Amino acid sequence: MNAIIDIEIDSVIKDAESFCAESGIEIKLVYKLSNRSLEIISERSKELPTLYYVSVEMLKKRVENGCFILKKEDQIIGHIFVHEHEVKGHFVYERSSLWVDNAYRNYNLGLLLMARITEFYSDTFLISIAQTPKVHYYNEILGMTHVTLSKMSVVLVQELEKLGKLRDELNFKYYVNACFEAQIRELK
């Protein structure tokens, strides 16, 4: 990544962290959430067309991989999960269920959550499959690389298809972290 972008992204992340500190918002890495919290998140995913529906059982599995939440008092006002996939003996983690409460948007809290989970998974295979141009931009400034299906191994493409994650490349883009990019063609 170029030095100017690194400085700018660092500044934006620090501003988001400062906003959290000033507003009494905690950012926490958690591996377990109450059933009630999981029910709320599941319902939220059902109601919002921008989120894929995730059941409470799916969320229970995902939170075990580590989930970052934004919490103010007893309310979860933001979250990001990862979904674990196994591809030919390799674990691939897909960022999923990014959400920030409307009252707290425009403070780069979604970017903060994306940055934290991306950094947390920097030593393993992390993928983002997204439709939204804003998420594409965030992926790029976080150092993730856009890859087309033609740059992936045939095995990975077949696994994405089996998992129901093979998407129309006109509307969706695949981004991978540096660790995954270095080995994406080798995944057999």
**Tokens at residue 137, please?**
């931009």
Contacts of the segment 170-174: beta carbons below 8 A, 24+ positions apart: 171/131, 172/129, 172/130, 172/131, 173/129, 173/130, 173/131, 173/136, 173/139, 173/146, 174/127, 174/128, 174/129, 174/146, 174/147, 174/148, 174/149
**Tokens at residue 102, please?**
């409307």
Give the total residue count for the chain. 188
Domain ranges of the chain: 3-183
User: Which amino acid belongs to residue 64?
Assistant: E
Q: According to the model, what pLDDT value does residue 1 have? A: 46
The residues facing 26 across adjacent strands are: 71
What pTM was computed for the model? 0.88
Contact present, 77 and 64 (Cβ < 8 Å): no
The three state secondary structure string of 4-37 is HHHHHHHHHHHHHHHHHHHHCEEEEEECCCCHHH
d(CA 178, CA 26): 28
Q: According to the model, what pLDDT value does residue 87 have? A: 79
169 CA to centre of own chain: 19
Q: According to the model, what pLDDT value does residue 15 have? A: 95
Q: According to the model, what pLDDT value does residue 157 have? A: 78
* CATH architecture of the region 3-183: 3-Layer(aba) Sandwich (3.40)
Q: According to the model, what pLDDT value does residue 6 have? A: 59
Please give the average pLDDT of every successive group of 10 residues along the chain, which has 188 residues: 62 95 97 95 80 85 95 95 86 91 94 96 91 88 89 78 71 87 74
Contact present, 67 and 80 (Cβ < 8 Å): yes
Q: According to the model, what pLDDT value does residue 149 have? A: 82
